Chain A
Amino acid sequence: MKSNTREATGQHTRECGVSAALKQGQITPTELCQKCLSLIKKTKFLNAYITVSEEVALKQAEESEKRYKNGQSLGDLDGIPVAVKDNFSTSGIETTCASNMLKGYIPPYNATVVQKLLDQGALLMGKTNLDEFAMGSGSTDGVFGPVKNPWSYSKQYREKRKQNPHSKNEDSDWLITGGSSGGSAAAVSAFTCYAALGSDTGGSTRNPAAHCGLVGFKPSYGLVSRHGLIPLVNSMDVPGILTRCVDDAAIVLGALAGPDPKDSTTVHDPINKPFMLPSLADVSKLCIGIPKEYLVPELSSEVRSLWSKAADLFESEGAKVLEVSLPHTSYSIVCYHVLCTSEVASNMARFDGLQYGHRCDIDVSTEAMYAATRREGFNDVVRGRILSGNFFLLKENYENYFVKAQKVRRLIANDFVNAFNSGVDVLLTPTTLSEAVPYLEFIKEDNRTRSAQDDIFTQAVNMAGLPAVSIPVALSNQGLPIGLQFIGRAFCDQQLLTVAKWFEKQVQFPVIQLQELMDDCSAVLENEKLASVSLKQ
């Protein structure tokens, strides 16, 4: 795995992966774990974690250390600190979905993806913050409060702001991470872990990745098990991967992908493992599609220009770049809304306070208990989606809304099939309309409006079940990250990541500079052994 350490420390030119450092004994898993734990404490104000599983992580580190000592390392992820979004079930560790409804809920089992990470020796640092039940695009609507974007405190952003005479009070002007996997994004971005699991239903992994300058990967639907992921929309949910570089995402994907007898929607065919990504020397055989419908008026000029530059880059290196049409794109977000809320209404029906999670004090009747429990347990966003979903599912509305939306979903999926059938290997689009906005700006619009805007480029991929990845491209004029999205053919995840890796190498996106923020922590960052920000080189 590759990493950029130069910007991070300002003094190291050697690229080295933390996996290699572990293998060579330059650092032990326990040291690594403790350093990450100390960073978690220092960055607590980011609100990235809901639960920090310090004891668990240290115990896992100890075991990992034994394996290294005995020369029995489990692989690239052994001893690597990871974080998991708080909507994946973790055995013995509270799993809240950032909702009152599940406060105090301790699952008795691990989600398949969590188990797979642990089986590879990864250290579970904690459970990360999100919008309640992953419904949102800002990581601002959870019961534990909003997540702050580490880039708000980066040298890059601060310096730009100093130059801007209009900039207001810095402390209240922090930026959102995007969402709903904002906690995972902030956790990786602030170096508190090397990889994090997000979930991606309409863009919830890719969106915060773009805002936090990370690689955010959404695998093909059916490639990675959903068992243990507390569902938002079963037919669109996919566990997502947030890392600081493409190779790391591939390593994690290699650990997670594959059929799961506990998830009937995972594909039976064995996957080629591990996901080793070749370094593309030549893109001349590649055909990149640019969907014309994604050029919307709301797109910021900076993102548009970077998108166009990226296309030029491919073309200049010999790739074929084609404009393609995905004609049903404009119906996508409405269709997504109907399908999403309908499944939400269904999935949330189990939260009645009877068996787990929150239960109200009212006990005059079963129905009264249900009603009060659900009123107290869910926030407005969740309740709103349940209400509209149940409206769509009512017998008299089912045909007009749900069935129609399903038909449109088919058309949208077919749009992609047609584009790929025309010879395109990978589609290149923006991930978000613009860079991250300040929290105070973000909350001026309601959750629904925000989600509709923020999911615009990402949710169609979920409806079609395709793999997609957001890659950080460059910093905006404000010194904030901007990401672009690559979309691949179904189950061609490896090809997609290979293209993304080539692109990542070309753009040389800068590493976030957080020394100022972490003061004494800069020592940690400058520590040679921790210099690497990624797993492998």
Chain B
Amino acid sequence: MAAPMLRWVGRGRLWTFARVDGGSCHRRGAPTGSTSNRIRGQSSVAQQPLYTTQKPRKGEHKWAAVVGLEIHAQISSNSKLFSGSQVRFSAPPNSLVSFFDASLPGTLPVLNRRCVEAAVMTGLALNCHINKKSLFDRKHYFYADLPAGYQITQQRLPIAVNGSLTYGVCAGKKQSQVIPKTVRIKQIQLEQDSGKSLHDDLRSQTLIDLNRAGVGLLEVVLEPDLSCGEEAAAAVRELQLILQALGTSQANMAEGQLRVDANISVHHPGEPLGVRTEVKNLNSIRFLAKAIDYEIQRQIDELENGGEILNETRSFHHQLGCTMSMRDKEGKQDYSLFSQEPTLFLSVAACPVGVPSPKCGVWLSIRPWLQCDASDDNELQELPVGFLLPSEARLTHRRDLAVRFMPEPNLPPLVLYDATSLPAGADPQQVINIDQIRETLPELPRVTRERLVQQYGMLLEHSFTLLNEVGLLEFFQNVIKETRAEPKKVTSWVLNTFLGYLKQQNLAVSESPVTPSALAELLDLLDSRTISSAAAKQVFEELWKGEGKTPGQIVSEKQLELMEDRGSLEQLCHSVMEAHPQVVMDLKEGNPRAINKLIGLVRKATQSRADPAMIKEILEKKLSS
């Protein structure tokens, strides 16, 4: 695992591109994406894919893609980054809004200690250098769900820098081999989330929900070391597992707790980098891979056809499976937003198809709550406005052409301490000790996998599968705890049989009708040779019906125990041989494979209750006699 990492990191360049010979690994519209997808007929999976044009001209004209990611992970905390209001998903609109979140004039940010600790912890887990001193900045742009007109972020001096993330990409003939790769992490910064806007085109109005406004985010910026959607998907999945292991973010993409923007460009290897586009708000791992691969191919096609790539922001339309430009480049924003000619600002109407226009019509009035008689500024109840946005509808119209930064004057530098620099007599509530946080780091997914490989002798790729499915590792470990069966047997049953059933019915581990104890009991029956493995499959199928029977009950009801009585088995073998003289003849004439047919026939006669090894032994004995 270390070698490839060194190779990538040691390159010492900002940009890394892919250069491997081979066919196009991703075609437009091909079902690429999450690690389990692959293209039929592909001879080998390129580690670093390379793209060729549909109609190669002037010899081999090869393209390489350069992909960088910006990942926003919502910090798992009780209250927001700079205010005391609660953080909760799917609360009634505008029920979790403090005076600060609503940017009432005169309110000031107060940093949430938990969010800083989460950032430090994440930084440590991603091998980052933790800056003992970091700064906050304001990033200004006008948008209705950004009530202050600026976002507090860490532009100049973020809390963590220069880390790395090691992830695995599936390769090999059956995609069964895992190749470890590393992407460098440029920085991790603390910043505020925005609120949500809902554009209601029918009634031509926009509704604002500020519940999310001010929630703490970790922005993890990856260096552009990735070269295709599959790599990006695998890296994001690994980051997701790390965040979940740390508990610093729930990182649930469907709930918007993990959002990814991708910077994508293509170029010919050895030539300068191409113009990049940014694809925003990718909120599932599958769409992330799809969007990146689509965008790479779009850029190649564009360039091949003599077009040019604009430095623009695009969104991914998941139904159409394509990316589209999010704004009119000419609609440059007036950076002070006032004018003698308000009509100048109507250019926003020029929105691409499928993206709701930000017409306001009737703006929601959030005014009434100002009269509400809140005695503390923690919560404002009963705001009669806003809807909750479904995650797919979360769109961005940010026109950040004129984004301006400024140091946040209301927050002094964030100073962190370690064991050596901790001032004597410091108030423990007012200082954060990096070393102390380091000690509390839990086991990271990479280490968990290594442990699984060592402890249970499983293949590395099996350990990846165990971790990738939510709850599967826990299920596996619970089975292991309760069964006498060999770990390899358990691994095989969990990954093949159990996971196979889940996938077939599209169920999550938590929805499985088979409990770990039931599977453990079943494996015990198998291990003690009470049942054959074929019978075990039958039992499993019964268990899957979820009728509440134990494996033992099923075995006895269906009389699936192995036939222990050698005498009757010998009898059975005898009858079978007599009934199939042609097969016996075949065998005697030198076709050794014919015995399998006999074994099969005997097993069928025993309803799979006999041990095939014993059947074979008896048959051989009878034949040689």
Contacts and interface: CB of A to CB of B under 8 A. Distances in A.
Contacts of A370: 142, 337-338, 345
A323 interface: no
A74 to B, nearest CB: 20
Interface string A359-393: 10011111111111011001000010011001001
Contacts of A394: 335, 402, 404
What is the interface of chain B mostly: helix, strand, loop, or mixed? loop
Contacts of B348: 365-367
B32 to A, nearest CB: 37
A366 B333 contact: no
Interface in B331-358: 333-340, 342-346, 348-349, 358
A445 to B, nearest CB: 24
Interface residues of B, number: 62
A109 B109 contact: no
Given A226-B108, A346-B138, A363-B360, A375 B144 contact: no
A231 B340 CA distance: 26
A348 B360 CA distance: 22
Interface string B185-208: 000000000000000000000101
Contacts of A233: 409
B359 A264 contact: no
Interface in A31-62: none
Given A106-B370, A349-B140, A375 B339 contact: yes
Nearest to A97: B105
Interface string A92-122: 0001010000100111110100000000000
Given A106-B371, A234-B410, A394-B402, A368 B106 contact: no
Interface stretch (A350-358, A431-439, A528-536): A350-358
Given A363-B360, A394-B402, A354 B333 contact: no
Contacts of B409: 233-235, 265, 343
Contact of B406 (A95, A227, A393): A393
A392 to B, nearest CB: 9
B106 A227 contact: yes
A354 B405 contact: no
Contacts of A268: 430
B370 to A, nearest CB: 6
A265 B410 contact: yes
A181 to B, nearest CB: 16
A102 B105 CA distance: 10
Contacts, number: 186
Interface string A238-280: 0000000000000000000000011111001000000000000
B55 interface: no
A111 to B, nearest CB: 6
Nearest to A377: B338
A264 B410 contact: yes
A95 B359 CA distance: 31
Interface residues of A, number: 62
B363 A356 contact: no
Contact of B111 (A89, A234, A264, A345): A264
A262 B110 CA distance: 6
A342 interface: yes
A265 B338 CA distance: 32
A382 to B, nearest CB: 10
A354 B370 contact: no
A235 B208 CA distance: 31
B498 to A, nearest CB: 52
A200 B110 CA distance: 23
Nearest to A345: B336
A351 B348 CA distance: 21
B63 interface: no
A166 interface: no
Contacts of B149: 346, 348-350, 352
Given A356-B370, A374-B337, A375-B340, 14 more contacts: A108-B370, A108-B374, A109-B104, A111-B106, A228-B107, A230-B106, A234-B409, A265-B411, A345-B336, A356-B366, A359-B363, A362-B342, A368-B345, A374-B338
Interface of B: 99, 102-111, 138, 140, 142, 144, 147-150, 206, 208, 333-340, 342-346, 348-349, 358-363, 366-367, 369-374, 377, 380, 402-406, 409-412, 430
The 6 closest A-B pairs by CB, nearest first: A349-B149, A367-B345, A374-B338, A234-B409, A393-B404, A235-B409
Interface of A: 88-89, 95, 97, 102, 105-109, 111, 226-231, 233-235, 261-265, 268, 342-343, 345-346, 348-352, 354-356, 359, 362-372, 374-375, 378, 383, 386-387, 390, 393-395, 398, 402
7 contacts: A346-B404, A363-B360, A369-B363, A370-B345, A390-B335, A390-B404, A395-B403
